[in-house]
Amino acid sequence: MLTWAIDLILAALKWPLAALFVVLTPWALVDCWESLSRLIDHGIGPNDFLMGALVYFVAWFFIFRSKWLGSYLSTLEHEVTHAIFALLTLHRIRDIRATGFDGGHVKYSGGMGNWLITASPYFFPTLAFILLPINHLVGPIPLFGFILGVATSYHITSTYLETHTAQTDLKKIGALFAWMFLPTANLLSYLFIFAWSEGGSEAAFDAIAGVFSDVFSD
């Protein structure tokens, strides 16, 4: 019953949230750029977020763009992200499948499903967001900045490849909603990661809160 309630609430919030994210876009873009600029100003070192992001991007450009090497892992991460948001909205996972060439799927039960499950891989950097609490809870991970940069760059490149007009997920949530919601959702995700890289978890949450406060205070 609670799962149905969550799905219905998300259905009711879909378009108001899309409209809000359109309004947030300029502030999210400015804050994201400023946070990234501060990381750039710190320089690029071997244990640096930007170094990890750059190394993965170069590797992706020359190697991992190949379907032979990159498709399975990309599909698996994509389907795992669907599954995470299904679980977060109290659905039960029945099956998860990923292949290198034939796509994948997540089957779940409970409720009626919701757009957040469908849209999640297109704005949520799963690997990066798994790393953040682990590093926070267990203590500093060796080369954490570099690894986080790799994970973030991976999400940027995989999202670039997966976001196209033939994508069934995007057809399901609707092209208009995707254009209204996903750009700002991505900006907020990256802002969170950039701010965490710069100043830790408190800085990350403050950065997101700052976007909303800037909008409503202006």
* Segments making up each domain of the chain, as ranges: 2-10+45-211
198 in Cβ contact with 39 (< 8 Å): yes
pLDDT tens-digit readout, 28-65: 999 999 998 888 777 655 568 888 999 999 988 887 76
Residue 196 exposed, middle or buried by CB count within 10 Å (0-12, 13-18, 19+)? buried
- Residue holding tokens 């259905």? 11
Residue 208: pLDDT over 80: yes
pLDDT tens-digit readout, 77-89: 889 999 999 999 9
- The radius of gyration computed from the CA coordinates of the chain, to the nearest angstrom, equals 18
- Residue holding tokens 């669907």? 82
178 vs 71 pLDDT, higher one: 178
**What is the per-residue pLDDT for 66?**
63
Question: Among 166, 152, 61, 182, which residue's Cα sits nearest to residue 103?
Answer: 166
DSSP-assigned letters across all residues of 118-161: HHGGGT--HHHHHHHHHHHHH-PPTTHHHHHHHHHHHHHHHHHH
**What is the per-residue pLDDT for 135?**
79
59 vs 8 pLDDT, higher one: 8
pLDDT tens-digit readout, 156-173: 988 887 888 888 899 999
Residue 18: pLDDT over 90: yes
Which of the four pLDDT bands, split at 50, 70 and 90, describes residue 70?
low
**What is the per-residue pLDDT for 159?**
87
- Angle, in degrees to the nearest 10, between helices 144-162 and 126-138: 160
CA distance 29 to 37: 12
pLDDT tens-digit readout, 82-131: 999 999 999 999 988 877 667 778 889 988 999 999 999 999 999 999 98
**What is the per-residue pLDDT for 100?**
64
